Amino acid sequence: ETGVTQSPTHLIKTRGQQVTLRCSSQSGHNTVSWYQQALGQGPQFIFQYYREEENGRGNFPPRFSGLQFPNYSSELNVNALELDDSALYLCASSFFETGAYGYTFGSGTRLTVV
Amino acid sequence: RKEVEQDPGPFNVPEGATVAFNCTYSNSASQSFFWYRQDCRKEPKLLMSVYSSGNEDGRFTAQLNRASQYISLLIRDSKLSDSATYLCVVNMGVYNNNDMRFGAGTRLTVKP
């Protein structure tokens, strides 16, 4: 059974650029949730994907968007990067029908915007 | 009011000490509750679920008070390896039963 994998592990971008982060869900999981974790803070919910559709969204602007593919992997896209977007981006996969039990995180992508 | 609020910490304790973390949540309809542990620059990992009757896992005891919307974690006989950030996590159930919201975390340092 493979775990959740995220790529890339680290990334440096310039303000105003666009970035795409990727997440492969754990085998058997069908839901992917994305979180932003700024330094010294807890993870903040960005959005969740289930059945290739957005299934809930936190307090993030529209320049944060995502996709889920038929194999349940997911992408997070951020346009017009701002310095405050610098953070650890975590994805978590789960099996929708069993709920929050079995939530599994990837090791994250550390994004630095300069 | 924040969705999930935790003791700000940090907590610095000697080995062998007992330490307690507290957490409150805003949504009375929340469905499930967890404590996660996060080591420096790593992803969060599940420490334990929290059940209504309270539950224990070795040196760790979790309690839930639904009436007060309050969760606690007690660590007995602290070890150096317990040093980490502890995240209170609530399944808010706003969108579905996978709607996990995190507190800001409480940092624990256990010293020799």
Q: Cβ–Cβ of B100/A31 closer than 8 Å?
A: no
Measured between CA atoms, the residue of chain B closest to residue A57 is B95
Are residues A107 and B42, on separate chains, in Cβ contact within 8 Å?
A: yes
What gap in Å lies between CA B90 and CA B3, rounded to an integer? 9
**In whole numbers, what is the pLDDT of chain B averaged over residues?**
92
Cβ contact (<8 Å) for B45 and A106? no
Beta-bridge partners for A48:
A33
Pairing between β-strand A87-94 and β-strand A53-57 as defined by DSSP bridges: unpaired
Please answer whether residues A18 and A111 qualify as being in contact, where contact means their C-beta atoms are separated by less than 8 angstroms: no
The answer to whether A99 contacts B34, with C-beta atoms less than 8 Å apart, is no
Residue A54 reports pLDDT greater than 60: yes
Nearest to B91 among A44, A90, A99 (CB): A99
How far apart CA B99 and CA A57 sit, in angstroms, is 10
For residue B99, the model assigns a pLDDT of: 81
User: How far is A104 from B32, CA to CA, in rounded Å?
Assistant: 16
Confidence of residue B71 (pLDDT cuts 50, 70, 90): very high
C-beta contacts of A49-54 below 8 A and 24+ residues apart:
A49/A74, A50/A96, A50/B96, A50/B98
**Are the C-beta atoms of residues A3 and A24 closer than 8 Å to each other?**
no
pLDDT, one tens digit per residue, over A19-52 is 999 999 998 899 999 999 999 899 999 999 998 9
